[in-house]
């Protein structure tokens, strides 16, 4: 494995990336072999897309998510949402019962009655997502027809949309992708001449505000998807530049590109290097003066880099192993490797979108193992054999691995903690420092 670590972006090794990945814009040499990507099949220890509802309903403040599913779906949401469930959350499950399975016509009537009851109770709701689950997909309950039927009935007060968050179709963060993709047809058409940046992917409000201020300082007109209110849909058209803030948005990106949006290629805004490159992609697309760009980002870069540097002493040389979870694994691994000097043992990811990940892969060292998909038992064998210093995994694996003597960082926190942008880079590295620090300090 290539163990050299070069943080300075200007001197970084360049690469043609993986064989199936188009070369990034700045590739100049081909002596690198890039990461080694392979796929694996077997038992997947992952969440389904329904869990995306937990952060999406916080983001779109007047939307409600109605899962059409089983008691298992309701129980999953309850287990994943923790105490949030007691705060009148804007999601619920219409639990399919024995009699709904008898005939489909009946199921549709039952669903309409559920929606009616729900909207009567919650008049503040402006957007309702019917969210498909494994059971509703298998019995072929047509939620897109149901959403059209219900939209016709409740518009203009409530727009009813549908998507699938089922485990058979989506893994964890892909639920957000499916949700946002379902929104795309509703977006108003932008004037072809209107040049606007569309940043796609749910970010913590604090992070979104930081980015909005930066884009404003750069003179770039920027909108965000998802929007915070249902009636504030951003427009899309040929003049729209599409910048993904999250790596798991393949279907949304395709739907936006189908409506004319021009995709920008960039690494994801994780870490100082990633954030600068991501902003630069937008700045270049909008012909921002390089001096202005440097003036705007340099102080934030410096502040962020100084904060991250404090964690470097604790993480440098430490070996890290990622189990697949959110698709954030590759960009986070890139950050930890290049800016904190960690050594990458294996990077598991549920899916690897070749085009969206190309810029990231180019920044990874030669020979690093990327595994798409999962066979959890074999992966556990590899993890134990490698004995990494820290293992990133879900809550079903974390305590058992700790009991075996491996330090772990539970991965779902990477979704619920603000980690994007300059001022969160040290929070992100801090998430990996804490378990190691704790192990070092514990005297029992």
Among 10, 28, 31, 98, which residue sits at the site for other proteins (rule: CB under 8 A)? 98
User: Binding string, 284-303, against other proteins, x = CB under 8 A?
Assistant: --------------------
The values of phi and psi at residue 199, to 5°, are -95, 125
8 Å CB contact between 360 and 22 = no
User: Is residue 168 part of the contact set for other proteins (CB under 8 A)?
Assistant: yes
Stretch that binds other proteins, among 43-51, 178-186, 298-306, 333-341 (CB under 8 A): 43-51
Shortest gap between Cβ of 62 and other proteins (angstroms)?
A: 18
Shortest gap between Cβ of 73 and other proteins (angstroms)?
A: 8
Q: Using CA atoms, how far apart are residues 317 and 436, in angstroms rounded to an integer? A: 13
Q: Using CA atoms, how far apart are residues 394 and 374, in angstroms rounded to an integer? A: 13
Q: Using CA atoms, how far apart are residues 280 and 210, in angstroms rounded to an integer? A: 15
Among 113, 232, 294, 298, which residue sits at the site for other proteins (rule: CB under 8 A)? 113
Stretch that binds other proteins, among 161-169, 273-281, 318-326, 415-423 (CB under 8 A): 161-169
User: Is residue 107 part of the contact set for other proteins (CB under 8 A)?
Assistant: yes
Among 10, 19, 31, 86, which residue sits at the site for other proteins (rule: CB under 8 A)? 86
The three-class DSSP label of residue 343 is strand
> Could you write out the DSSP letters of every residue in 55-122?
HHHHHSTTEEEEEEE-HHHHHHHHHHHGGGGGS--SEEEEE--HHHHH-HHHHHHHHHHHHHHHHHH-
Q: Is 241 annotated as a binding residue?
A: no
Tokens of 104: 């489909």
User: Is residue 200 part of the contact set for other proteins (CB under 8 A)?
Assistant: no
Q: What does DSSP assign to residue 8? A: -
Which secondary-structure segment (H or E) carries 386?
A: helix 376-386
User: Is residue 398 part of the contact set for other proteins (CB under 8 A)?
Assistant: yes
User: Is residue 91 part of the contact set for other proteins (CB under 8 A)?
Assistant: yes
Among 50, 180, 320, 347, which residue sits at the site for other proteins (rule: CB under 8 A)? 50
The values of phi and psi at residue 250, to 5°, are -60, -50
User: Is residue 357 part of the contact set for other proteins (CB under 8 A)?
Assistant: no
Q: Locate tokens 């796929």: which residue?
A: 39
The CA distances from residue 53 to 7, 174, 195, 304, 415, in Å, are 36, 11, 31, 31, 12
| Dihedral sign (CA 3, 274, 388, 21) | negative
Q: Is 393 annotated as a binding residue?
A: no
Q: Using CA atoms, how far apart are residues 366 and 351, in angstroms rounded to an integer? A: 20
Stretch that binds other proteins, among 96-104, 214-222, 311-319, 331-339 (CB under 8 A): 96-104
Question: Which residue in 359, 372, 368, 351 sits closest to 331, CA to CA?
Answer: 359
Among 79, 186, 231, 417, which residue sits at the site for other proteins (rule: CB under 8 A)? 79
Please state at what angle helix 250-258 crosses helix 174-183, rounded to 10 degrees.
Answer: 20
Q: Is 134 annotated as a binding residue?
A: yes
Stretch that binds other proteins, among 48-56, 233-241, 244-252, 253-261 (CB under 8 A): 48-56
User: Pairing state of beta strands 240-244 and 262-263?
Assistant: parallel
Q: Which is nearer to other proteins, 234 or 348 (CB)?
A: 348
Stretch that binds other proteins, among 7-15, 41-49, 240-248, 259-267 (CB under 8 A): 41-49
Among 53, 60, 134, 277, which residue sits at the site for other proteins (rule: CB under 8 A)? 134
Non-local CB neighbours of 325 within 8 Å, separated by 6+ positions? 46, 47, 172, 348, 350, 392, 393, 394, 411, 412, 414
User: Is residue 43 part of the contact set for other proteins (CB under 8 A)?
Assistant: yes
Stretch that binds other proteins, among 70-78, 208-216, 301-309, 314-322 (CB under 8 A): 70-78
User: Is residue 78 part of the contact set for other proteins (CB under 8 A)?
Assistant: yes
Q: Using CA atoms, how far apart are residues 327 and 346, in angstroms rounded to an integer? A: 14
Q: Using CA atoms, how far apart are residues 419 and 425, in angstroms rounded to an integer? A: 6
Shortest gap between Cβ of 208 and other proteins (angstroms)?
A: 28
Among 120, 152, 403, 444, which residue sits at the site for other proteins (rule: CB under 8 A)? 403
Shortest gap between Cβ of 425 and other proteins (angstroms)?
A: 28
User: Is residue 103 part of the contact set for other proteins (CB under 8 A)?
Assistant: no
Q: Using CA atoms, how far apart are residues 340 and 414, in angstroms rounded to an integer? A: 17
Among 14, 118, 235, 369, which residue sits at the site for other proteins (rule: CB under 8 A)? 118
8 Å CB contact between 7 and 339 = yes
User: Is residue 139 part of the contact set for other proteins (CB under 8 A)?
Assistant: yes
Among 22, 290, 299, 400, which residue sits at the site for other proteins (rule: CB under 8 A)? 400
Q: Using CA atoms, how far apart are residues 115 and 94, in angstroms rounded to an integer? A: 9
8 Å CB contact between 276 and 301 = yes
Q: Which residues are annotated as a binding site?
A: 48, 73, 134
Q: Which residues lie near other proteins (CB under 8 A)?
A: 43-51, 68, 70-72, 74-76, 78-80, 83, 85-86, 89, 91-98, 100-101, 107, 110-111, 113-114, 117-118, 134-135, 137-139, 166-169, 171, 377, 394-400, 402-403
Q: Which residues are annotated as a binding site for [4Fe-4S] cluster?
A: 48, 73, 134
């Amino acid at each position: 494995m290539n163990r050299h670590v070069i943080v300075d972006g200007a001197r970084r090794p360049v690469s043609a990336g993986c064989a199936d990945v188009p070369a990034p814009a700045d590739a100049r040499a081909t002596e690198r072999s890039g990461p080694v990507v392979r796929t694996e099949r077997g038992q997947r220890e992952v969440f389904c897309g329904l869990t995306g509802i937990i952060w999406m309903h916080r983001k779109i403040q007047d939307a409600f998510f109605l899962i059409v599913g089983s008691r298992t779906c309701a129980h999953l949401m309850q287990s994943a949402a923790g105490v949030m469930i007691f705060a009148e959350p804007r999601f619920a499950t219409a639990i399919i019962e024995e009699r709904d399975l008898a005939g489909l016509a009946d199921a549709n009537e039952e669903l309409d009655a559920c929606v009616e009851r729900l909207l009567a109770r919650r008049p503040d709701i402006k957007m309702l997502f019917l969210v498909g689950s494994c059971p509703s997909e298998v019995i072929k309950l047509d939620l897109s027809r149901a959403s059209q039927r219900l939209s016709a009935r409740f518009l203009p007060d409530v727009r009813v949309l549908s998507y699938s968050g089922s485990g058979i179709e989506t893994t964890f963060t892909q639920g957000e992708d499916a949700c946002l993709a379902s929104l795309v047809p509703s977006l108003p058409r932008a004037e072809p001449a209107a040049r606007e940046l569309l940043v796609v992917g749910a970010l913590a409000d604090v992070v979104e505000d930081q980015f909005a201020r930066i884009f404003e300082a750069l003179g770039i007109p920027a909108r965000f998807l998802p929007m915070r209110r249902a009636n504030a849909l951003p427009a899309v058209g040929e003049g729209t530049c599409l910048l993904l803030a999250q790596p798991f948005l393949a279907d949304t990106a395709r739907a936006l590109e189908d409506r004319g949006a021009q995709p920008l290629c960039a690494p994801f805004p994780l870490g100082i290097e990633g954030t600068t490159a991501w902003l630069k992609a937008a700045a270049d697309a909008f012909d921002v003066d390089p001096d202005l760009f440097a003036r705007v980002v340099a102080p934030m870069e410096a502040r962020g880099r100084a904060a991250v540097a404090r964690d470097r002493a604790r993480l440098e040389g430490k070996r890290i192993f990622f189990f697949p979870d959110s698709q954030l694994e590759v960009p986070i691994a890139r950050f930890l490797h290049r800016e904190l000097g960690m050594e990458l043992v294996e990077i598991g990811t549920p899916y690897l979108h070749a085009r969206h990940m190309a810029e990231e892969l180019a920044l990874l060292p030669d020979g690093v193992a990327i595994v798409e998909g999962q066979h959890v038992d074999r992966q556990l064998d590899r993890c134990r054999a490698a004995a990494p210093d820290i293992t990133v995994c879900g809550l079903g694996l974390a305590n058992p691995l700790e009991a075996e003597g491996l330090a772990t960082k539970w991965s779902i926190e990477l979704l619920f903690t603000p980690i994007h942008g300059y001022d969160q880079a040290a929070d992100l590295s801090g998430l990996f420092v804490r378990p190691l620090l704790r192990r070092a300090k514990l005297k029992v």
